[in-house]
Each structure stands twice: as C-alpha cells, then as structure tokens.
Structure 1
Amino acid sequence: MTSSSEPRQIRFNAFDMNCVAHQSSGLWRHPRDRSRDYRDLTYWTDLAKTLEGGAFDGIFIADVLGTYDVYGDSNEAALRTGSQVPVNDPILLVSAMASVTEHLGFGITAGTAYEHPYPFARRISTLDHLTKGRVGWNVVTGYLPSAARNMGQTDQLSHDDRYDVADEYLEVLYKLWEGSWEDDAVVADRESGVFTDPAKVHPIEHHGTHFDVPGIHLSEPSVQRSPVIYQAGASPRGIRFAAENAEAVFVGAPTVEQLASTVAKVRDALEAAGRDRYAARVYTLLTVITDATDELAQAKYEDYLSYASELGALVLNSGWMGVDLSQWDLDEPLGDVESNAIQSAAANIAAATGEDGSSWTIRDLARHTAIGGLGPVAVGGGATIADRLQEIQELTDVDGFNLAYAVTPGTWEDVIEFVIPELRARGAYPTGYEPGSLRHKLHGRGDRLPDEHRGASFRIGSSAVVG
C-alpha cells in the first residue's frame, strides 16, 4: 500500500487477561505460550517492559466476575478448557508493571454492577498516584448471569438498565474525582501544622436512584483526577454511553464493512454528544500471526490452530452472546440471536457468512473464533501485515488495534520484531512516547479531562456539585 507524505499513525494496545489463553482457547498448551504464568508477577513485569519497548499505548486487561456457564447450563466445559477460569483480579497487577516502565498505559476492566463507587474511586486514584497518571478504566456493565447469582441476584439487569446504573455510577465517580478536592487543598504547612485546608475539600452530597454518597473523596487529587475512560460497548445504548464518557473505545467486527459502520456510529455519536468526532481513540480487536515471510507466518498459524479448542471457543461465545450453543447441532446455521449479554457480539456473529455467502454454522463459529475470539486474524509477513493494517485504517477510520494474542508474549514479540519496523519505515508508527500522563499521550491536550467532557461538568464550582 502506498503511503502519503504524512501517513496516519497506527496505535497498538495489548489485550490480555489475568488468566490462561484469554481469547484463544486451548493455546495455553502450546510450548511457546506463557499464559500459564499469569500467577507469577514476573510474567507481567516482563510483558510490560516488552510492550513499552514496542511503544504500545498500553496494556488493556480484561476481566469477568463470574464463569462462562451458559454453554450446557454449566461451568464444567469452561473449567475443563480453561476458558477464562481460573481468573485473578487485574487491578493488583498495575503497580508492579508501572514500577518497571515509564510510559506504558494501563487499561483496567472493572464493572459497575457489583462494587460500590465509593471504595472504587479511592482504588483508582491510588493507582493514578502510583503510576504518575498512567491509568485508564474500562467501564463494563457485566454480562455473565453467574456473576449476578454469586452477588445475590437472580440474573443480570436488562441490557439497557445496566447502562442506566452505569450512568449514575459514573456521576458519583466524577463528583468524587473532579468535584471534591480543590487542587491546592493539600498545603502541607510544617509551621502551622496544617496538612489539608478543610475549606477546600467538599462533600459531594450525592443522593440518587441507586447510590447515596454524601461525603468527600478519600484521596487527594491525582495526576489525571479521573482516569482515562475506556469503553467497549457497540450496541446503540453502549455507543451512547461511550459518546458521553469514553476517551478510548474498543470495537470488534468480523468484516471491514461492519467495522467501518461501527466506527462511523461511534464518531457520529461523539458529535451528537457535543464532542469532537475524534475525541475518543477507536481501537479494533485483531490477532496478528506474523513472521519473516508470509509462508512462515502461515505455517505458524497452522501450528497454533492445531492446539486450538473449538469447545472452548463455543463456551466463550455462549457467554458473549448469552445463548447456549450446545443446544444445536454443530452443522446447524446460526440464526438471529436475541441477547441480554453483549448485543454487538450477537449481532456480528449472526451476520457472519462464509466465502460462498452462506451463514456460519455452529462449527464455523467455533473454528473461526478459536484463535482471536470475536476479532479477525491477520496472517502474513511484516510487510503484508503492515499493508493490511494501513488498509483497514484507511477503509474504517480506526485509530489503532487492540491486539489479542495466540500465544503470549510471543504474539506481541513477533509484532514488535516483524511489523513495527515496517510501519516505522513508512512513517506510520510512533518511534517513542510523548511525555506526560496517559490522557496526554493519547490526545495531546494535557492531563485532565477536556472542558467538553461530561466529567468536567462536575468540577469544583460547577452547579452539578454540592458542597
């Protein structure tokens, strides 16, 4: 692909999870895969250093609070295949990774359904202090019924109702992060003995439908105050939520046409919310299998595929779609699916077709998602992959790619060795990092929320904050 004199920069995130074989079922068995070391802190610190060496924007750590027990109405298959269980907490990883890096960002997934916003606000502020402003929060509303049951509920709220709760959850957090402490509240005056001026710390007096939080934030202002807000919902309700809150949006689609449509909807919604079309970076899910040549990359892909678990893929897809895929024969075509889980996942899968235009069967779904999950897989040498990435960006208007792995850290090491040098030779990939916070690195507008962002309306002095 011929680049222009000023090619658009491509951005990368690494997509991981504190478990084995995150999106690629069965690949934990591959001799090159280290995901079984997820319990070892050195796995995470080594990975952080590797990604910073490749100038990745950050590592995006997914999470679920529950097991994938939709398939067969049991978590037996999930346990047997290691499908995102066992799974550990993502937040506890960040301090260690931050201690061995200077620039890498950290996108942490945490839900709005089962933790009160008051203690969560303090945990994120703590990390923003310790990382010097490199924390982002991926806001999820939850989709696994098992999580709801284990938190004392009979099932998830309906899809849109979960977003209504999340709207108020964010309101509480913005009030705490943006509207409680003034920037100069901490005076640390040794002579007078005054550490904090009480007149500059304000209770938020929030009394809403779902939450009552009358008091002050427990943490003094961090570098960013509010973390960078990430969001991955691509349903109509999810896009509306993203348009009001997100500074980075993760999307996924099986075809370039569907991806372009989703990206356009996100950018249109940002404008409708009074923000710039490019106020949020948009990353699309992709798994890259690469090597020195196209032939070596294809052989590597075939090798990986021989370890993949189609059963594990169906377990994950059942959870993502909210539909028990064990109830159909493997050669039955996928039909329209009504989902109370990830609606965009169900819609994309239902629309998927084979090369002959026929609808995917259950077997097709298992085979196509056993490596890389819901995102497509790109296979080729460095130049071939660079061509493809630039083509996708040109056709869809994405900013970058949320790179899942087949094997870890090998998939990302291969991208750094074979793809990034090719992109850099074309002037299409950064050679280093901007200084400052994660927010500034992503958008170049400083450490704090921009004035037009929803959260900025809750700053001290705004009518939205009482105190």
Structure 2
Amino acid sequence: MSELILNAFIMNSPGHLSPGLWTHPDDISVDFGTIGFWVRLAELLERGLFDGLFIADAYGHYDVFEGSPGPAFAHAVQIPRNDPLLLVSAMAHATRHLGFGITLSTSYEPPFALARRLSTLDHLTNGRIGWNVVTSSSDSAARNFGLDRQLTHEERYEIADEYLELCYKLWEASWEEDAVVADRARGLYADPARIHPVDHAGRHFRVQGPHLVAPSPQRTPLLFQAGASSVGRRFAARNAECVFVGAPSKTVLAGSVRKLRQAFADAGRDPASIAIIAEHTVITAPTSAEARDKHAEYRRHASREGALVLMSGWTGVDFSRFAPDDVFEHVESEAIRTAVEAMSSADPSRKWTAGEIADWCGIGGLSPVSVGSPSEVADELASWAADTGVDGFNLSYAVLDSGFRDFIDLVVPELQNRGLYKTGYREGTFRQKLFGRGDRLEAPHPAAVVRDDFASARNLRATRLRP
C-alpha cells in the first residue's frame, strides 16, 4: 500500500461535523474568529506533515429541520460561518509546505473575480492553493443570491462545466509563460504582445479578459471536487485531480470509488491518476480504554437535534417529522445526493432509522469514526484504504484542536513505522507534493488542452502574418 494522503477537514465556524462538541471544556472552536487560531492550527498540521487543510464552505444556512434556521443557530450547526479564503495568507506565511484546499461555488462566484483571487493566492502561497469546486446545494443559498429556488442538479453542473472552461482560459491561455519581462533598463514590465484576451462568449458567461494576474506557480490551482452523484462523477472525471467522498460503510465507499475510477476511464483519463480521499473521524488516546472513555465523554456533549439539522440540510428532508424508530427511505432531492444515497438505497443491506442517523451524525457527520489506541486506529485506516481503494483521508475531529494534536502525536508515528505515511514533505507546489509530477496540468486534462489550443492558434496567426 502506498503512503496515505491526509488532510485536516474543517470549516471557518465554531461547529463543523460534530454538533454540540463546541461545548466541551477542551474545545477551542469558539476562537475561530481570531487569526491566531488559524495560524496555530496550520503550524500544528505542518508539524504533523499533513498534506493540506481542507476548508468546507457554503452560502446557505440549514433551515430544513422544522422549516426554520433557528435550531441551526441554537446549536452552532455550521453557523456563524466566515469566509475561508481570507484565512489563507496568514496561514501560508506561518508555514512552508501545508496546502490549502478552499471550497468555492460556481453557482454564485463570478468566474473572472474568482480566477483572480485564486491566482493571487497561488502566488502568495508559492503554489500551495487548491480549489474544492462545488455547485452549492441549498435553497437558502439560492435565496441569498436573489433566486426563488436552487437550480436543478443538472443545471448547476452545466454552469460549472462552462465556469471551469472559462477559468482554464484565464489561467492557462491569457498570459504566455514569458510575458513578464521585468526589464528595468528598457522600462518594460510585461510584453503586451504576449498577453491575450480570452474573448469567452458562452451560454452563461461572457468575459473578454485578459486575466489580471500573471502566471502563478501552478496556473490552475490543484482541483478538488466532492460530487459523487452520476452527474458529479462525470464532472469530476473531466476536471478533478482529487475527489472527496464520504460514506458510512465500506460497502458504500468502495462502490463510490469503483464508479469514480470508471468515470475517469470513460472520460479518457487514467483512473490511477485521481486521488480519492475519504472523510473519516478519529478519536485516539494512548490506550484503547482511554480512547473509548474519551468517545463516551464526547457523546455526552453531542447534540442529537444538531445532528438532524445537519442531515435535514444535506438531504432536503425534514427529520423533525420522523419518530426515532422511523426508517429513512431513499428520496429524490436537489440537495446533496450523495448524502441521500449513502444513508438509504446505496447499501441495501442496511436500513437506517431516524434515531440511528442522529446517533451516527452526532460525531463526524456521515463519516466513519475510528476509536482506539494508535495501533488500532492505524489498523482501521489501513483497512479502510485497502478494502475500498481510497488514497487517503480528510480527517475530521470531535474536539479542537486536541483531535488533530492527538492524531499527530500518537497515530502519525504509528503510520510512519508501517510505511503508510511520509516522514518529510516533497519540495514544490501542492500538485507536485501530492503527485510527484510537474506543477502544471498535463493533457488530456481540459486545462492543458485549452493551453495547447490557444498556443496553436497564436502560432498559426503568427505564421500567417509572416511575409
């Protein structure tokens, strides 16, 4: 088995995937609004050789449960939620290797502005920025941007396809590699002949360009994607380098991995070139008994209602209408289809009651939870990777920052002793560190195709203009 990829999974909020745990006396999540909180977390993760800090985000709030946002506010269910992008510069200044995967939406972020911000951060981080491409899933987000309802699943991904095409043009084709001259003697900073408008006129976007930012270390940031529906898989197969998946059982997770790799093959990309990273939560201590005692203590702080607020938002189903013993059946929803399928029809061998879902999602959301000594946790992670085919984990936490600190101090050395985790960082950009290849995307990825097509067109024009 190759070395595991490990990201820390978090949100710029006092609560992420373990509702109610902010009340634990050891938890520091309430300090999330301070820059010191994020700098110290980044330094901790780099000490533990984490590949990246993966920051989830959304533009909506959870208002499906009881038809009201009140329970989400009361239990700090991913609200308040601050902008994740503004955290990166400070964390990058305090670290040298840690990557940053930031969630940004193609449904509401103007592509020209988003492309500029990500290029700027790619410069400031020396190539350590990644983009988790999402399409947004909640009606509350749609209403916040002036729509009556969320667009359909298919419409959102249609927009996302054009959005990425436009971003690739801005990042890969607008500035030639040697456009920046910075010649003090001639007073020439950039050669105008090597900077080009993109002149994009599509169904959803019109942008003339050129891009406002000179080529950054990666040009196109490392691309994450988290949709595992059939439409999401096709989108990932065209665009993603890393796909984030979540499932409560190995059966469901293994099925998602098989479908993703097949989608990559169908799209003409090497299925082995994708990094599939699974959501997972770890609670560990020096001994098994201590870890289980800790887990039991955490459960006493978990909010059952908060867990159902989360699940209601993810599925679009109001769980306040269910009695604890009611079985949750598969439903069609324009919300997060992966969540709907994972908890219902995707694993026919298991039927979930509303009460079981509340218990499960109370710590770690939909993710599996591994509880035990360092060797037991290492066994579990190795087993999940071997049995499902994932390449690594987005590690969530129950309590901050001891959840990550315990993992780094106890589990990381165990994984290293087994050859399952690196003992040092590679040099280079986020892409180079993860994959050990060049810092730019290569064909057949559409970003590389855009770059090559524009270069060919420019060469053809230049040839025609020669006498």
TM-score scaled by length of structure 2: 0.96
Structure 1 CA distance for aligned equivalents of residues 115 and 359 of structure 2? 41
Residue in 1 aligned with 2:140?
A: 146
Give 1:465 shift: 7.3
SS at match of 2:328: coil
The 1:113–1:353 alpha-carbon spacing in structure 2 relative to 1, beyond 3 Å, is closer
Q: Letter of the aligned partner of 2:198 in structure 1? A: I
* Within-5 A mapping of 1:300-449: 300-351=294-345, 359-449=351-441
Deviation, structure 1 residue 341: 0.7
The 8 Å contact of residues 431 and 439 in structure 2, kept in 1 or not, is answered as: yes
1:99 is matched with 93
- The one-letter code of the counterpart of 1:435 is E
The residue number in structure 1 matching 2:34 is: 40
Distance in 2 between the 1:88 and 1:185 partners? Answer: 36
- Which amino acid is the alignment partner of residue 77 of structure 2? S
What are the Cα deviations for residues 383-415 of structure 1, in whole angstroms up to 9, with x where unaligned? 011111111111111110100110111111111
Take 2:439 and 2:183, find their aligned partners in 1: how far apart are those partners? 26
Partner of 1:225: 219
Aligned residue type for 1:147: A
1:59-70 to 2 correspondence within 5 Å? 59-70=53-64
CA RMSD across the alignment: 1.5
Q: 1:322 & 1:464 partners in 2: Cα distance?
A: 47
Residue in structure 2 matched with residue 174 of structure 1 by the alignment: 168
Q: Which moved more, 1:453-462 or 1:157-166?
A: 453-462
Deviation at 1:351, TM superposition (A): 3.9
1:306: Cα distance to partner?
A: 0.3
AA partner of residue 151 (structure 1):
F
Distance 2:60 2:256 in 1: 28
**Paired letter, 1:29:** T
SS at match of 1:462: helix
Answer whether contact 1:352 1:360 (CA < 8 A) is retained. no
Aligned residue type for 2:24: H
Aligned counterpart, 2:465: none
Q: Note the alpha carbon deviations across 1:264-319, whole angstroms, 9 max, x for none.
A: 11111112111111222111000001111111110000000000001111111111
Which residue matches 2:255? 261
Distance 1:139 1:413 in 2: 28
1:4 aligned partner = none
* Cα pair 1:291 1:381 within 8 Å, conserved: yes
Equivalences for residues 19-168 of structure 1 within 5 A: 19-168=13-162
Q: 2:281 aligns with which of 276, 287, 303?
A: 287
Amino acid at match of 2:147: Q
Which amino acid in the other structure matches residue 263 of structure 1? V
Give distance in 2, aligned partners of 1:379 and 1:215. Answer: 52
Deviates more, 1:387-396 or 1:177-186: 387-396
Structure 1, 382-391 or 271-280: larger mean CA deviation = 271-280
Query: Partner letter of residue 399 of structure 1?
Result: D
Distance 1:104 1:465, change over 3 A: farther
Q: Which amino acid aligns with 1:386?
A: A
Structure-2 separation of matches of 1:294 and 1:352: 32
Partner Cα separation in structure 2 for residue 257 and residue 347 of structure 1: 12
Count, aligned residues: 459
Q: 1:464 to 1:44 in 2, by over 3 A?
A: farther
Q: Which moved more, 1:265-274 or 1:426-435?
A: 265-274
Displacement after TM superposition at 1:330 (Å): 2.5
Q: Which residue of 1 aligns with 2:464?
A: none
Shift of 1:170: 0.3
**What residue number does 1:3 align with?**
none
Write the mapping of 1:183-202 to structure 2, written as runs, cut at 5 A. Answer: 183-202=177-196
Residue 462 (structure 1) shift: 3.2
The equivalent residue for 1:298 is 292
Shift of 1:460: 5.5
| Alpha-carbon separation, structure 2, partners of 1:185 and 1:299 | 60
CA–CA separation in structure 2 for the residues paired with 1:405 and 1:201: 46
Counterparts in 2 of 1:352 and 1:169: CA distance versus 1, 3 Å: closer
Give the Cα separation in 2 of the matches to 1:71 and 1:186: 53
CA distance in 2, matches of 1:462, 1:272: 26
- For structure 1, which runs of at least 5 residues remain unmatched after alignment? 1-6
Whole-angstrom distance in 2 between the partners of 1:337 and 1:192: 66
Residues 216-255 of structure 1 correspond to what in structure 2 (within 5 A)? 216-255=210-249
Question: Matches of 2:408 and 2:345 in 1, distance apart?
Answer: 33
For the 8 Å contact 2:6–2:394, the answer to whether it is kept is yes
Once the 2 structures are TM-superposed, how far is the Cα of residue 461 of structure 1 from its aligned partner? 4.5
Could you list the per-position Cα deviations for residues 202-224 of structure 1 after superposition, in whole angstroms to 9, with x for gaps in the alignment?
10010000000012000000000
Q: Partner amino acid for 2:105? A: G
Provide the rounded CA distance (Å) in 1 between the counterparts of 2:283 and 2:438.
36
Report the Cα distance in structure 1 between the residues aligned to 2:453 and 2:165, rounded to whole angstroms.
16
Match of 1:414, SS state, is helix
How far apart are the structure 1 equivalents of 2:19 and 2:40?
23
Moved more, 118-127 or 387-396: 387-396
Q: Could you tell me how far apart the structure 1 residues matched to 2:430 and 2:347 are?
A: 39
Mapped partners of 1:339, 1:32: distance in 2: 38
Give the Cα–Cα distance (whole angstroms) in 2 for the partners of residues 463 and 97 of structure 1: 36
TM-score, normalised relative to structure 1: 0.96
Q: Against the structure 1 CA distance between its residues 464 and 319, is the aligned structure 2 distance closer, same or farther, given a 3 Å change threshold? A: farther
Aligned residues of 2:173 and 2:455 also touching (Cα < 8 A)? no
Gaps of 5+ in 2: 462-467
